[in-house]
Amino acid sequence: MRSLDDQGPSNLLKKTLETIVGIDNIITDREELSPYGKDIYYEKLPPIAVVTPSSNEQITKIVKEINNDGANLSVRGGGLSYSGGYLTDKKNSVMLNMQKFNKILEINKEDMYVRVESGVTWNQLNIALEPLGLRTPFWGTGSGLYATVGGGASQNAINYGSGRYGTLGESIIGLRLILASGEELRTGSWSTTQNPAPFNRYYGPDLTGLFIGDNGALAIKTEICLQLIPRPTHTNYIAYSFGSRSEFVKSASEIGRLGIISECFGLDPFFLSERITSTGFADDIDKLLNVAKNQQTVFKGIKEAFSVAVAGRRYAANVGYTLHMTVDGRNQTEVDSAEEDINKICNNYAGKPIKASISRIMRGTPFPPPAMMLGPKGDRWVPMHGIVPHSLHETILENVDTYMNANKEAIDEHDLVWGQVSNLIGHSRVLVEINLYWKDKRTDMIESYLSNEFLEKKDIFTENPDAYRAVGKLRSGLAGLFRELGGTHLQIGRSYPFLESRMTSAQTLLKAIKFQIDPSNNVNPGALKL
Ligand SMILES: Cc1cc2nc3c(=O)[nH]c(=O)nc-3n(C[C@H](O)[C@H](O)[C@H](O)COP(=O)(O)OP(=O)(O)OC[C@H]3O[C@@H](n4cnc5c(N)ncnc54)[C@H](O)[C@@H]3O)c2cc1C
C-alpha cells in the first residue's frame, strides 16, 4: 500500500515528487520504507520517500525540487552493499531507486562499446552480450543478479575478469550524469558539442575517473559506457593447495604479475573448510548442470561436471591455503599455455594440484541468488577488505592474524567466526577480504532478496547488539591495519576511512570539487565523509 503521510513536514515535497514520477513510482508508507533504511550491514534512518524515476528528465526535476526544499538525496542501485553508501542520518532524505533505469541502450559492435542505463544488472548485461560473442573486460560482481552497473561504478567493484582487467573502473569509457544542480554532464569523447559518442575515455583530464568510486557523493550516474572485447571461447580451471601461507602468497603474486588469469581467489583453510563446504552439496547439482551447459562441447561439459561431482565440496576438508583460478582465451593453445605457466609457478612453491571445483561452480552460475548474505546457519555476515600491493600481501595477512589473536577474548565471548579471501586485481594488486559472521537477527532488507524456501532452512537468531558492536569494532581495527600499510578500499561509503587519510592538498581539492558540484551538499551528504 502506498500513501502519502499527511502529517509530515515534507508533505509538499512528497506530493511534488509524486507528480514527477507518478503514484506507482513513489513509496512513502512507513512500513514499506523500513528496508530502505538498511543495507546488508548498517541500519540508519529510513528515507521520507523512495522514488523510482525512469528518465533523465525526471531525475533533473527531482534534483531541482530537492534543492528548492533543502532536502537530501541518496541513490540506490541494487542495494547490495554493506558500507552505508546510500544510507543517511538526515531526517529529510529522499532515495532515488535506479531500478527502472534498466535498458541496454546500444551495443556497438563496430566501435566495441556498450552503453547501458545505470540500473542494468550484471546478469542482464551478460545475457545480452553472450549470444553476440561479446563481453566487457570486467563483467560483474558475485552479487550481479541484483547489483547494478551504476552501483558497481560508484564503488569501483571487482570480481569477474579482474585478474586480467582490473577493477570495473578500468573497463568504463564514459559516463552520463546528472549533477546536483540538475545539469547534465557527459565525460570523455562523449562530452563534445559536435557528434558526441562515448568511444574514448581520455581527452584531457579524466572526468570519468572523478565519478568512479564516488559512492554517489558527486552526481547521479544515469548511463554508463563500457569497453567491449571478443568473448573468450575457451576456459581452463586450475586449483592448488599449499603447505604454508608463505608459499601460497608467493605463488599468488607471481601469477598475478603475469596478468594471465581472469580470476584468482586465495582462500584460507577456515574459509574453505567451514564456509564453502558447509553451504550444502545439493545446491551444487544445479550449478553442475550449468557448468555442463556452458562449456564449448557437450563432451567436455559432461567430463567437467563429472569431475566436480566426484570431487564434491567435501574434497576441501583438511587442505591448507588454496588458490582457485580461471583462465580464459580465444583458443585452447592460449589457455593451455597460461595454465602451463601457472603450473610451473605453483610447482616451484610445492603446490599440490586439487580439483578446481570452486571456480567451475562459480563460472557455472556466475550470478546466483545472494545466499552468501547469510552464514551457513543463517548467521549474519559482513566482509571488510583492503587492497595492497603484492609486496605487502603476506604482511597484511600476518597483521590480520595477529590482530584477531589479540582480540580472541571478544571473538570467543560473542561467538564470532572469521575467514580470509585474497583476490588478485590486474598485474599489481591484491584485495584481502576478512569475512565476519555473528549470530544476530536477520533484517527485513536481507530477507527481501532471499526465497522463503531458502530462509526456512536457516536458524532464526534473536537480536544481538553486543555481538554487532564487537563486529563493528573489529572492522574498524582491521581497516586501521590497511591504513598503516597505505592500503586502499573499494566501497568506501560511510564505512571506510578516506578523506581523513588523504594528504592536505588532496582533501582540499576533493572538498572544492564537491562544493563546486553540490554547494548545498544535498547529494548523498556524508558519503566519502564529504
Ligand atoms: C552476495 C554478495 C556478493 C558480492 N560480491 C561482490 C563482488 O564480487 N565484488 C564486489 O566488488 N562487491 C561485491 N559485493 C558488494 C556489492 O554487491 C557490490 O559492491 C555492488 O557493486 C553493489 O552494487 P549495487 O547496485 O547493489 O549498489 P548499491 O548498494 O545500491 O549502491 C552502492 C553505492 O553506489 C551508489 N550508487 C548506486 N547507484 C548509483 C548511481 N546510479 N549513481 C550514483 N551513485 C550510485 C550508492 O549511493 C552507494 O553509495 C557483494 C555483495 C553481496 C551481498
Task: Report how far residue 191's alpha carbon sits from residue 174's, in angstroms, rounded to the nearest whole number.
Answer: 9
- Boundary (domain end) residue, out of 45, 76, 98: 98
Judgement on whether residues 426 and 315 belong to the same structural domain of the protein: no
Higher pLDDT among residues 283 and 110, named by residue? 110
CA of 80 to the centre of ligand 1 (A): 5
Terminal alpha carbon distance of the chain: 36
Judgement on whether residues 197 and 311 belong to the same structural domain of the protein: no
CATH number of the domain within which 445 lies: 3.30.70
| 81 found inside a domain | yes
CATH number of the domain within which 42 lies: 3.30.43.10
Cell of 187: 565525460
pLDDT at residue 296, as a whole number: 53
Nearest CA owner, ligand 1 atom 20: 152
Atom of ligand 1 nearest to the CA of 118: 41
CA of 215 to the centre of ligand 1 (A): 9
DSSP H helices, 318-464, are 332-348, 357-364, 393-406, 408-413, 444-447, 452-456
- C-alpha 192, offset from chain centre: 31
Task: Report how far residue 527's alpha carbon sits from residue 522's, in angstroms, rounded to the nearest whole number.
Answer: 11
Ligand 1 pocket: which of 141, 380, 445, 522 to mutate (most atoms within 8 A of CB): 141
Using 50, 70 and 90 to split pLDDT, how confident is the model at 338?
Answer: very high
- Distances, alpha carbon 491 to alpha carbons 307, 383, 528, in Å: 36, 11, 10
CA of 81 to the centre of ligand 1 (A): 5
Higher pLDDT among residues 291 and 415, named by residue? 415
* Closest by Cα among 387, 361, 205 to 290: 361
Count up the domains in the chain and report the number.
4
Judgement on whether residues 300 and 410 belong to the same structural domain of the protein: no
SS (H, E, C) 375-391: CCCCCEEEEEEEEEEHH
Judgement on whether residues 215 and 241 belong to the same structural domain of the protein: no
Task: Report how far residue 483's alpha carbon sits from residue 526's, in angstroms, rounded to the nearest whole number.
Answer: 20
User: Across-strand partners of 328?
Assistant: 235
Whether the per-residue pLDDT at 336 is higher than 60: the answer is yes
The residue range of the domain holding 360 is 234-364
* Across 257-263, average pLDDT: 96
pLDDT at residue 377, as a whole number: 87
Judgement on whether residues 55 and 153 belong to the same structural domain of the protein: no
Instruction: Label residue 142 exposed, middle or buried (CB < 10 Å: 0-12, 13-18, 19+).
Output: middle
Nearest CA owner, ligand 1 atom 16: 81
Neighbours of 529 (CB within 10 A): 18
Q: List, for residues 200-251, the tens digit of each pLDDT value.
A: 999 999 999 999 999 999 999 999 999 999 999 999 999 999 999 999 999 9
CA of 250 to the centre of ligand 1 (A): 31
- Boundary (domain end) residue, out of 311, 334, 364: 364
| 394 found inside a domain | yes
DSSP-derived secondary structure for 268-281: -HHIIIIIIGGG-S
Name every protein residue with a CB atom under 6 angstroms from any ligand 1 atom: 40, 74-81, 85-86, 98, 118, 141-143, 147-148, 150-152, 154-155, 157-159, 215-216, 220-221, 370, 372-373, 490-491, 493, 524, 527
Q: What residues contact residue 502 under an 8 Å CB cut-off, 6+ apart?
A: 510
Write the Ramachandran bin of 206: left for phi over 0, alpha for psi from -120 to 50, otherwise beta. beta
Residue whose C-alpha cell reads 543517511 in the numeric block: 88
pLDDT at residue 319, as a whole number: 59
Using 50, 70 and 90 to split pLDDT, how confident is the model at 40?
Answer: very high
Using 50, 70 and 90 to split pLDDT, how confident is the model at 89?
Answer: confident
This complex has an ipTM of 0.99
Judgement on whether residues 197 and 251 belong to the same structural domain of the protein: no
Ligand 1 pocket: which of 41, 59, 76 to mutate (most atoms within 8 A of CB): 76
Give the containing element (helix H, strand E) for 321. strand 321-329
Judgement on whether residues 384 and 435 belong to the same structural domain of the protein: yes
Task: Report how far residue 201's alpha carbon sits from residue 204's, in angstroms, rounded to the nearest whole number.
Answer: 9
Task: Report how far residue 201's alpha carbon sits from residue 226's, in angstroms, rounded to the nearest whole number.
Answer: 10
Task: Report how far residue 336's alpha carbon sits from residue 180's, in angstroms, rounded to the nearest whole number.
Answer: 51
Judgement on whether residues 388 and 474 belong to the same structural domain of the protein: yes
Atom of ligand 1 nearest to the CA of 157: 11
Residue whose C-alpha cell reads 568506501 in the numeric block: 492
Residue whose C-alpha cell reads 530462509 in the numeric block: 455
Judgement on whether residues 73 and 118 belong to the same structural domain of the protein: no
Q: List, for residues 357-377, the tens digit of each pLDDT value.
A: 889 989 999 999 999 899 888
Q: What residues contact residue 480 under an 8 Å CB cut-off, 6+ apart?
A: none
Judgement on whether residues 72 and 190 belong to the same structural domain of the protein: no
CATH number of the domain within which 287 lies: 3.30.70.3450
- Boundary (domain end) residue, out of 210, 230, 250: 230
DSSP H helices, 407-497, are 408-413, 444-447, 452-456, 465-484
CA of 117 to the centre of ligand 1 (A): 15
CA of 386 to the centre of ligand 1 (A): 16
